[in-house]
Amino acid sequence: MCLALSIAARALIVLGVLVPWTSVRAEESSEWMPSYVAVTIDELANGDRFVRMMLFWETAPAFPEHATFELDVVLNNYEASPLGPGTYLDRAERWDQTPRTQSWKSELPASYLDTRFADIDEEVAYTIGSGDAASIEPGILYTSLIVLRAGDADVDSAKVVAHRGEQRPAGCTSTWCSFGLDEADANVTIVPAWEMVVPGMIEWGTRPPSVATPAS
């Protein structure tokens, strides 16, 4: 669907380091979309790097039974990128084509780390999904964290996209049973390619009271 986006660059102190902060406001959205999305990509004290996703639904989302939800954070590995090829996060994969993480966790219902099966090499996705999106409740701040080794780039760019899908077969909640939908409102671009500065943070929508205002 078409989104009108207003983007204002600011700064955020994460782990003692000043990194870019981009606030993104959507003028129009879908009834299943969260009212607030925040994504942070940065480095830990031990040298590992992470992507953190925070999601909040102010009202009950319009997910039908057997629906799934995914949030893609996609790094730019294009040869023609002004930053050159390479990614800020390690892009290595396990045998099932999921990212080779140090660890990951998520508070989403029936959460899963999504596979990159059939993805192109130039767009490297780090995706957390909910295999049971109908169980997502309003008023809860759902946090997901993926920790990886450092990639082969110290600066990067990213896009962020949300997807509504469905279980196939119904009742299966793994990554292999979540299928995207070819519908106009089933895929929402939160940050277009390649407008998120990495390392950095983006916010989209209305920040709930439970989330502190970033330093500026």
The tens digit of pLDDT for each residue in 94-117 reads 999 999 999 999 999 999 999 999
Nearest in space to 123 (alpha carbons), one of 72, 74, 190: 74
Read off the amino acid at residue 172: C
| Exposed e or buried b per residue across 25-40, where buried means at least 16 C-beta atoms within 10 angstroms of its C-beta | ebeebbebbbbbbbbb
0.85 surpassed by pTM: yes
* 29 — pLDDT class (breaks 50, 70, 90): low
Name every residue whose Cβ is closer than 8 Å to that of residue 94 and which is 6 or more positions away in sequence.
100
Confidence band for 41, pLDDT divided at 50, 70 and 90? very high
Q: Is the pLDDT of residue 23 over 70?
A: no
CA distances from 110 to 11, 132, 166, 178 (A): 34, 6, 13, 11
Strand ranges inside 44-120, DSSP E? 49-56, 67-76, 103-106, 111-113
Query: Using only C-alpha atoms, what is the Rg of the chain?
Result: 16
- Per-residue pLDDT band for 174 (boundaries 50, 70, 90) equals very high
Q: Are 59 and 35 in contact (CB under 8 A)?
A: yes
Angstrom distances, CA of residue 169 to CA of 97, 129, 139, 162, 176: 21, 16, 29, 22, 10
Q: What are the tens digits of pLDDT across the range 147-161?
A: 999 999 999 999 999
pLDDT at 207 over 80: yes
Helix, strand or coil for residue 189?
strand
